[in-house]
Amino acid sequence: MSTSIPAQHYDAPGDRERDRGQVVGFTRVPPQDLNAEQSVIGSLILSGSPGTSHQFFAEILDTGLVAEEYYRPVHQAIHRAICEVHAADEPVDPVTVADALTRSGELTRVGGRSYLHACVQAVPTPANGSHYAEIVRAKAYRRSVIESAQRILEFAYSEAGDEDEVRDLVEQQLTEIIAGTPGLHQAPPTVGDLYLPFVADLEAIQDGRKLGLTYGFPDLDAITSGMQPGNVTVVAAQSGVGKSTLALNAAVAAAKTGAKTMFSSLEMSDTELMQKIAAAEGKIALHHLTHQGGLTAEGWDTVRQLGPELFNTLPLRVYQPDGASLGDIASAARACARADGLDLLVVDYLQLVEVEQSRHITREQAVASVSRGLKNLSVQLGCHVIALSQLNDDGLMRESRAIKNDASVVIKVERPDADDKESARAGEVDLIIEKNRFGPTACVTVAAQLHYSRFVDMAHT
């Protein structure tokens, strides 16, 4: 059962010093959220315990929250104790925190061990700890604004000092208010600040130490510099050409290098995706996996080997959203990033992703919103996004302008034998790079082995 603290009942042991002048200028109850403060404390204790993900603990501290920003002095003391335990590289739990508070003589003042457990029980989920911390910081900032404004008022009413002193005080207080704004950005760096990192980055590029994630095709990697974080690759093709297969091949190739990958499919089921991966990696004819009695004893042996040799070690997550909304995909991607990181997100495909639409929004504007949302997500999570897009029968990308604007690389997939079964280039596939922010446009030809659900480099055919 959670223990919340009504604002009017904050006068617990250790809180009375606030009434003796620690916070000045308040004639009403100052801005605060004691439930959020409890939840931060509880989240820190829960996420700092052994056997739990310490990512949430780090996310809370990354907000910049410090002890002084809590409204209740007892919460300030507990926060300091938690940081002391963490700095000593000890597990953070009610026992170790209580021990630290005992050493500082503050355990009784904060309400004893029972209050630490009350804070833990008050937490809805430690995954939201950073959000609770931002609430605490926002309330602290409002209190600091009120305090600064009150100092200015008191000095102005006192008629002490001359006009210059009044101006200096106002300037000082306003500067402190602005500098203390939670989330306030610092002034952008100068080009001089950027020069040395630029040179280091340039050396890494020239030495071949800064390559993006592999698409699975050396020529394509060389032209595009691979898949870079914060960027989007659009793979566009007509229906039936194999864009989903190409994207799944790229996802597996990147995951084999250790890249944390999420494949979000709005068309294929989990079973279909697994069948395609097994066919491509085990060189098993896809129709043998999808039809009764099609798998030979040798095929079964291959499938069994793929378990420990591939599937059990591959950092590839498959996401099938209940709906098809951008919010669902983004939420799943963030969950992956929190769990163990996210390097590559594949979305199959753009035109199936839904956004909230009003009567006044066109389909083109809706797809543009999805495209922009995926671009923003790639930047926020520091991952690369492969977004598949459907081409019209005339070979033009639907809603192409917005999609191309947000993409760093646009690859159009064409099969010469798709319409001409007698083509001299039967089995070949052209990956036409129509846009490339990292190099020239070009055409990379690969071989289609769709019976194995894969595309391969021509040199390996």
Higher pLDDT among residues 186 and 200, named by residue: 200
In sequence order, what are the beta bridge partners of 237?
Answer: 390
Mean pLDDT: which of 18-32, 76-90, 248-262 is highest?
Answer: 248-262
- 266-280 pLDDT, tens per residue? 888 888 999 999 999
Q: Is the pTM of this model over 0.75?
A: no
Per-residue pLDDT, 7: 37
Surface-to-core class of residue 1, CB atoms within 10 Å of its CB (0-12 exposed, 13-18 middle, 19+ buried): exposed
Q: What are the helix (H) ranges across 189-340?
A: 191-206, 218-224, 243-256, 270-282, 286-290, 297-306, 326-340
Q: Taking residues 3-20, report their average pLDDT.
A: 41
In this model, does residue 338 exceed pLDDT 50?
Answer: yes
The answer to whether the beta carbons of residues 386 and 227 sit under 8 Å apart is: yes
Per-residue pLDDT, 73: 93
Mean pLDDT: which of 11-15, 24-28, 422-426, 433-437 is highest?
Answer: 433-437
Per-residue pLDDT, 400: 62
Other CB atoms within 10 Å distance of the CB of residue 46: 22
Per-residue pLDDT, 351: 79
Average pLDDT, the chain: 82
How is the chain split into domains, by residue range? 7-179, 218-460
Q: Taking residues 6-17, report their average pLDDT.
A: 41
The answer to whether the beta carbons of residues 241 and 419 sit under 8 Å apart is: no
Question: Which of 211-215, 350-354, 380-384 has the least mean pLDDT?
Answer: 350-354
Specify whether domain 7-179 bears CATH 3.40.50.300. no
Q: Taking residues 221-230, report their average pLDDT.
A: 91
Triad 366, 371, 375: Cα angle to 5°: 145
In this model, does residue 323 exceed pLDDT 50?
Answer: yes
- 19-38 pLDDT, tens per residue? 433 444 556 788 999 999 99
Residues in the chain: 461
Question: 218-460 architecture in CATH?
Answer: 3-Layer(aba) Sandwich (3.40)
127 Rama sector, left if φ>0, alpha if ψ -120 to 50, beta otherwise: alpha
- 107-158 pLDDT, tens per residue? 999 999 999 999 999 898 888 888 999 999 999 988 888 888 888 888 888 8
CA distance 138 to 318: 37
What lies within 8 Å, CB to CB, of 309 at 6+ separation is none
**Confidence band (pLDDT; 50, 70, 90) for 250?**
very high
Q: Taking residues 211-224, report their average pLDDT.
A: 91
CA distance 230 to 47: 28
